[in-house]
Chain A
Amino acid sequence: MEIVMSVLAGLLFMTGVYNLLQKQLLRIVIGTALVSHGAHLTILTMGKLKEGAAPVLTDGVENYTDPLPQALILTSIVISFGVTSLLLVLAYRASKINHTDNMEKLRGNDYE
């Protein structure tokens, strides 16, 4: 199953990167969201999958799933939510002020 998940994570990265390389802001934001999904899945897969119970201490259970990747992913989910929402609002402002959502036209001015 880990191999299937690895391939899926790769696929998420691939589509995410492809979207990142686009010109339109909305596609770029979607790309970052996909990349972070892929990253979470990768971290989870790198630990072992389905080895033991959920990491909540219960009497009589000896074997638990690795809790460390889960803790890392939990942090990451929240952070990537922050990133995505900031990007969205930034995209909204940028397109509102510049009247375009095309990255190729948002290059700063010539004097830089």
Chain B
Amino acid sequence: MILPVLLPFIIAIFIPFLSKWKEKFHTGIVATIVPLIIFIYFASFFAGGFSSVTKSYSWIPSLDMNLVFHLDGLSLLFVLLISGIGTLVGLYSIYYLHTTEKLGHFYVYFLIFMGSMLGVVLSDNVYALYSFWEFTSLSSFLLIGFWNHKHASRYGALKSMLITVFGGLSLLGALVFMHSITGTTSIQQMLGDSEAILNSEFFPLILTLLLLGAFTKSAQFPFHIWLPDAMEAPTPVSAYLHSATMVKAGLYLVARFSPMLSSSEWFFIIVSSFGILTLCWGSYMAVRQTDLKGILAFSTISQLGMIMAMLGFGTKVAVFAAMFHILNHATFKGSLFMVAGIVDHETGTRDIRKLGGLMNYLPMTATLAMFGVFSMAGFPLPFLNGFYSKEMFFLSSLDLSGQGEFASIVASLVPYLAVFGSIFTFVYSMYFFFGTFRGRANLGKLPKKPHEAPVGMLISPAILVLLVVIIGLFPSFINEPFISHAASAVYGGDVSKDIYFWHGFNLPLIMSLTVVAFGTILALTIPRWSTVYNYVPGILSMNKAYDYTVDKSVTFSTKLTRGYMNGSLALYMKLILGAIIIVSFSFFFLTDGFAIDTSQLAPVTTIEIIVAITMAIAALGTIFTNNRIAAILILGVVGYGLAMLFIIYRAPDLALTQLIIETVTVALFLLVFYHLPSLNSRDESRPDQISNWIISIGFGLLVTTVAISSHSSKLFDSISSYFVENSYKLGGGDNIVNVILVDMRGLDTIFEIAVLGIAAMAIYSLIKIKNKKEE
């Protein structure tokens, strides 16, 4: 099972090469074949009854991170959606994207998305799921910004990235919590151990973080704002990522964990109310849009809200309807997006104010749109699948019983809000269809003269519409092998339900008829009441909050960075050293690392003390002298003092080297200082002086502390005895230090010589180059 998931990634590597011949061979053909293969592969799981399959591949076993793929009914529904819609969208894109576009880029992102989306719905390992999850955000970012010369594309891409990655990080938090509570990284095992998580004191936090991840991805209110801006992407992308698959990853997540979470009262309250709110807000706002894809974007938001709400209800009917609607929504919304793409392609605009009367020019497209729109509106006709799931939604909304006080309030409000949201769904559906295809055509306003789309572009939406009708006519055709398995996996028990068109004259049907009646009235009178939009979104707009936050954080971080990156090297040094001091000392105190062991100290002798005091005075002298020669000479005193210490501490090689080097250094200083301006007295300001002293004293203290405590504590045995024993045997030399340098660590020494060589060349060229002024 690993091959189908990795296949898109593997093919994506070859896409850039294939796109070299894009004039003769449209790259999209490959992107159509790949999902088709995956679709056929997964469809074959139906043969001979279906039961869930788990396959495991080692990835990082030491961290308990493995690629474990678990295929159950829920995954299968999504996998077939991803590959099926992927095939159709790939086919559609061949006609939509002209070969002058950067096809190589487009299809690489497209395939990366497909692969990672498959990964999301198949992974059983939470960290693999998270990785794939972020990959979908990333590829969505790249696809939205595909036409990156447009400002709106870049804005939309960044917005979706910021919001979904924020959600992704929250999700990671929730997953880490659950991992540490249950001690397993497998989702199935976590679900088996759900008591531990539900009773954990962190449960409220886990629930919040998990739902943040799901809500941002699935564009739930108030995080929905990224989806309308994501419509800047090419239409195949909108149809694929932003209506059929990626935005449903949030639903998948909630569905995947709902066997565990649904027993919590707060899961019901939060998910149901956010879902219902999103349904109402999205459908209400859709009527306000003037861009065809804008209408569809808000429509997607509201439909996602509806499915989310049903997952929140958690009853058998609701879960079944949710799975059913995920499929239905993909069919009718996918076809409508493709219709919007065709209209855009053939007329050159998506502005509904300029469109109208296109039925005579695009009869095929209009027919397809009609089916899609009436299915979306939930019109009670037996050959439209949208009606079935909407009817079940009403049925499930009536069937709620909240356990707690707060939950019962939510439960009692849900049916009214469901009807309200559905009325507006009806209104925007009619608005979309009649605004585009009916009414008076105004060809003068259109950038292009409209004519029917090429057949290739019509195939994909036609297949989707065909599915709408087939599911509508024969719901049990899709029910038994497909939806029941998915619903059972979510509900955690066996869910099977027969789908009928005619339920009898009951409350859900009355609700549907109410929706149609009010919807028709409102749709006919849109101009009369549309002024209401001047009042109600008004300042409530989440976009303003987002823009304000992003704007302020950019300004703030610019200010902050300018504040400390001011070009003063001394300030940088201070910050770095200060950080070292604070971090190291805190570590010392936290780990109780300070220790003085006086048992093994070498004896103190007078001569060492004299040398040490001389060096100390000389070192301090370098600070206080304002005479260049004096400063250089007393630096020499420190160096020669060190050489003496080397002699005392039985390091003859060091002493020799130090003496030579010190002599050369002092000579070099004396050569150069003549060319440098004379030393001024230190003229730093008072605060500067104080902070310099604090930093330098702090650093000195740190070194002293580290030296003493590292001398006093031995964590492991020294490796030095190895060198003492093997110096003669392996290196053939008596001087151990020399053997170490030239023999045992010979490579190190070669590099050291190379460094010196480079330094010498640099010095030579620095002296030799002359700038123009000097010549």
Contacts and interface: CB of A to CB of B under 8 A. Distances in A.
B182 interface: no
Contacts of A11: 616, 619-620, 700
B612 A65 contact: no
Interface in B272-325: none
A10 B698 CA distance: 9
Size category of the A interface is: 35 or more
B623 A19 contact: yes
Nearest to B631: A30
Contact of A18 (B608, B623, B668, B767): B623
Given A67-B736, A78-B657, A107 B567 contact: yes
A104 B711 CA distance: 40
Contacts of B771: 97
B29 interface: no
B700 A13 contact: yes
Contacts of B762: 86, 89
A55 B604 CA distance: 22
Contacts of B702: 10, 13
B314 to A, nearest CB: 59
B650 A34 contact: no
Contacts of A45: 707, 711
A21 B692 contact: yes
Secondary structure at the B interface, as helix, strand, loop or mixed, is helix
Nearest to B711: A2
B631 A26 contact: yes
B649 A81 contact: no
Contacts of A37: 638-639, 642
Contacts of B704: 6-7, 9-10
Contacts of A97: 771, 773
Contacts of B361: none
Interface in A80-106: 81-86, 88-93, 95-97, 100-101, 103-104
B680 A24 contact: yes
Instruction: Give the interface size class of chain B.
Output: 35 or more
A53 B745 CA distance: 23
B615 interface: yes
Interface in B632-657: 632, 635, 638-639, 642, 645-646, 648-654, 657
Contacts of B539: none
Contact of A50 (B598, B650, B755): B650
Contacts of A34: 619, 622, 635, 638
A58 B708 CA distance: 31
Interface string B692-718: 110111011111111110110000001
B504 interface: no
A30 B740 CA distance: 30
Contacts of A44: 645-646, 649, 651, 654
Contact of B570 (A1, A64, A66, A104): A104
A28 B575 CA distance: 17
Nearest to B597: A2
Given A37-B638, A89-B766, A107-B568, A46 B697 contact: no
Interface string B404-417: 00000000000000
A14 B615 CA distance: 13
B763 A104 contact: no
Contacts of A53: 650
Contacts of A54: 650-652
A86 B765 CA distance: 11
Given A12-B638, A21-B570, A75 B680 contact: no
Given A4-B609, A11-B619, A12-B619, 6 more contacts: A26-B628, A27-B679, A77-B661, A81-B665, A86-B762, A97-B771
12 contacts: A4-B608, A10-B707, A15-B623, A21-B695, A23-B684, A46-B710, A54-B652, A55-B724, A55-B735, A56-B734, A57-B728, A74-B657
